[in-house]
Amino acid sequence: MSDQNNLVPGQTQSVPFSTVISMVIGNVRSRIGRSVVTLFGVVLGASFLMAAGTGDILRAHFAQEEADRLSAATAAVNVLSELGTLDGRTLAVWVAKPSRRTPWILENINKLGDVKLQIYSPSSVLSKTVGNSAGDLAGALAGADALIVCNDGVDDAAPLPAAVDGLPGQVVMDLSGVFDPEALAAQGLRYRHLFGAGALGELEGMPSVKLAAGSGRRTWLIVISLLVSGIGIANALLMSVTERFREIGTLKCIGAQNKLVVQMFTIESALQGLFGSVLGVVCGWLIALTASAFNIGWGVVWSNLPWPPVIQFAVICLFVGIVVAMIAAIYPAAVATRMVPALALRSEI
């Protein structure tokens, strides 16, 4: 009780703030088990809040990424359905207009069968990663069973080069649906739009619909999580009051004001709220990052992480964690201030 030397019995005393801090730290150290329980409650609440909020931020940020990958997989499946099987097939790929979605489409086609891709593309990197490079379209078409035209985002139809005449009775497939089926039929070619009318727009809208559908449920889960966290903190602090009956009674007998008791519990809960929130924010951020990386890939998530909104939300989580911990300390502090010193001193706890 060295921190109580400045208190004079019989007089109402005002204790320096530094002394209150040292008393709080001493109480935390002497009851480390109870402090860990309180800290754990804050960590759970803050981590759940951070994981849910950061997850929403990442889902919104990568919604287009998810839509592009989903549409790429759909295009590859449509190629398979058109040809029946890809095993032993040779596909010519004309990258008339490359896009971010183009390599994903070709990678998915590779996964669906033992297929050979002969790519005529202005991007040598694309050719090296997903197929064999061809110097011109005629070279890509040599021995091919079908032609895939990667013209993502093209609005106007362009005539097919004369080299396509070497594919009588075969299939021409594109991404934008800009070719005239009747004109291709006149050349003896079948035509397939890999997305179909309106399908691409529906695919791109799916992530936004899922995000909106889950936001209300996540809000309720966050509220319940914070409520449970607050109740747990309040319960731990109430137990702390019970354990410190004699200490609080002694302080009040030698002149400590109720203000000092309130300060002790408020500062103790604020410190535990701060440290617990920091740990919770880190854990929640890692959980949200891992979940997004599992769906999209670590490289994509890490290289395109939206730092400003994530940092802003982390600050909000820190503030909320501290506030919840301090609110939870109100009732235990009130119980401690109403304590009768004489009864507290006779306590055997």
Q: Is residue 318 very low, low, confident or very high in pLDDT (cuts 50, 70, 90)?
A: very high
Return the residue matching tokens 């109870």. 34
Q: Is residue 214 very low, low, confident or very high in pLDDT (cuts 50, 70, 90)?
A: low
The predicted pLDDT at position 341 comes to 78
Got the DSSP string for 259-278?
HHHHHHHHHHHHHHHHHHHH
Q: Is residue 345 very low, low, confident or very high in pLDDT (cuts 50, 70, 90)?
A: low
Phi first, then psi: give them for residue 223, nearest 5 degrees. -60, -45
Which pTM was predicted?
A: 0.61
Instruction: Tell me the H-state helices in the chain.
Output: 17-30, 32-61, 63-83, 101-111, 124-130, 137-141, 181-186, 199-243, 245-253, 258-296, 298-303, 307-328, 330-337, 341-345
Contact 178, 157 (CB under 8 A): yes
Amino acid (one-letter) located at 270: A
CATH of 69-198, one of 3.30.465.10, 3.40.50.720, 3.30.70.100, 3.40.50.620: 3.40.50.720
Contact 38, 265 (CB under 8 A): no
- Better-predicted residue by pLDDT, 199 or 179: 179
The predicted pLDDT at position 12 comes to 53
Contact 236, 42 (CB under 8 A): no
Instruction: Kindly give the pairing relationship between strand 190-193 and strand 146-151.
Output: unpaired
Residues 6+ apart with CB under 8 A from 59: 66, 207, 210, 211, 292
Measure the CA angle with vertex 2, ends 329 and 20; round to 5°.
Answer: 30
219-269 tens-digit pLDDT: 777 788 888 888 888 888 888 888 887 888 888 888 778 888 888 889 988
69-118 tens-digit pLDDT: 888 888 888 888 888 889 999 888 888 777 778 888 889 999 999 999 88
Query: What are the residue boundaries of the structural domains of the chain, listed by start?
Result: 2-64+203-345, 69-198
CA distance 197 to 68: 17
Phi first, then psi: give them for residue 253, nearest 5 degrees. -70, -30
Cβ count within 10 A of residue 179: 22
Instruction: Tell me the H-state helices in 13-83.
Output: 17-30, 32-61, 63-83
CA distance 206 to 36: 43
CA distance 122 to 140: 13
Q: Helix crossing, 199-243 with 330-337: angle to 10°?
A: 10
**DSSP category for residue 13:** B
The predicted pLDDT at position 157 comes to 57
Question: Mapping DSSP to helix (H, G, I), strand (E, B) and coil, where does residue 303 land?
Answer: helix
Phi first, then psi: give them for residue 112, nearest 5 degrees. -90, -5
